[in-house]
Amino acid sequence: MPQRLMLAALIAAVFIVGFMYAVSTRSAPTPAPKQIRWLLHGPGIAAIAADAEASQLLDNTQPFVMTGRNVATIPAGWNAIPFASFTSFRAIKRTFDRGALAPSVKGIMYDNEKWRFTPEEEQLNPARYEELAAELVHAHGLLFLTAPAVNLVTALAPKSDERRYDSYLRLGIVADAARYADVIDIQAQGSERNTRVYTDFVGRAAAQARQANPNILVLAGISTNPSGQSVDANELLRAISATRSSVDGYWFNIPRQSEYCPRCNDFRPDIAIEVIRRLGTS
């Protein structure tokens, strides 16, 4: 009898513990998604600011906003961080030498790519110029943002048979940039319509960046018109949903055709506004 009573008591105790654990698990609140850090630039800033609902959803989110003719349209409630963007170390240095930087600027972006705006010597040695740019920017007490483009692969490994994203990661371009930066953008927007490819690349690139610099703020690129491709809000939301746990935020590129994006066509801030609205109500 005593053995039976002890067995019954043990079974009851196990049941009670299990029940209490199940109840506590079910009642535990689901962690809220972390706040997205945005990076915005160009005329899309004014369009978002003009939409009352989307603008309010950016209040106190501290988006990074590129200075220029749109800077006056930035709502004070955003608590934005203004930055200036340059396509070469040479241009950054020249601006500091001339004292031509606006006092409102809090950060400098180095947007080095395989294009005519970045000198060839910088394309062929991105690690060196990332370091030089970071040292110069930090010496002036500013944040250093960097966005080394995937097409740098064509300068560094023009005969590679690998997929471009694989070559980009193998060459350590992300690690070399993140090592010296405060913020890095992974320019993955070209694959945003293929959620699987986008998610894989962003995840691996973010991991490489954080291995090089655990304190880095990692953004991923999304675009309303990546190199002329037509996309919609659903595709962008899928890309964001699939990578939100891997990055701290997104560079929301809302381009229009220009010398920097000759293949871009339709200016679609309405897509960005819809994405921001739906994220804010999700």
pLDDT digits (tens, 9 = 90+) for 8-25: 555 555 454 444 444 444
pLDDT band of residue 150 (cuts 50, 70, 90) is very high
Q: Which of 16-25, 34-43, 58-67 has the lowest mean pLDDT?
A: 16-25
CA atoms in the 13 A half-sphere facing the CB of 265? 4
> 3-class SS at 40?
strand
As a whole number of angstroms, the distance between CA 193 and CA 17 comes to 47
Q: Nearest-CA neighbor of 70 among 80, 62, 56?
A: 80
For residue 281, how many other CB atoms are within 10 A of its CB?
A: 8
pLDDT for the residue 48? 94
Higher pLDDT among residues 68 and 249, named by residue: 249
pLDDT tens digit sequence for 153-200: 999 998 887 899 999 999 999 999 999 999 999 999 999 999 999 999
As a whole number of angstroms, the distance between CA 177 and CA 187 comes to 13
pLDDT for the residue 243? 98
For residue 214, how many other CB atoms are within 10 A of its CB?
A: 8
pLDDT tens digit sequence for 220-248: 999 999 877 889 999 999 999 999 999 99
Classify residue 239 by burial, with Cβ atoms within 10 Å: 0-12, 13-18, 19+: buried
pLDDT for the residue 17? 44
Radius of gyration of the chain (CA): 23
Q: Nearest-CA neighbor of 196 among 163, 243, 248?
A: 243
Strands 37-40 and 81-86, how do they pair?
unpaired
Indicate whether 112 pLDDT > 90: yes
pLDDT for the residue 269? 94
Residues 6+ apart with CB under 8 A from 226: 189, 190, 192, 253
pLDDT for the residue 38? 97
pLDDT average, residue stretch 31-37 = 75
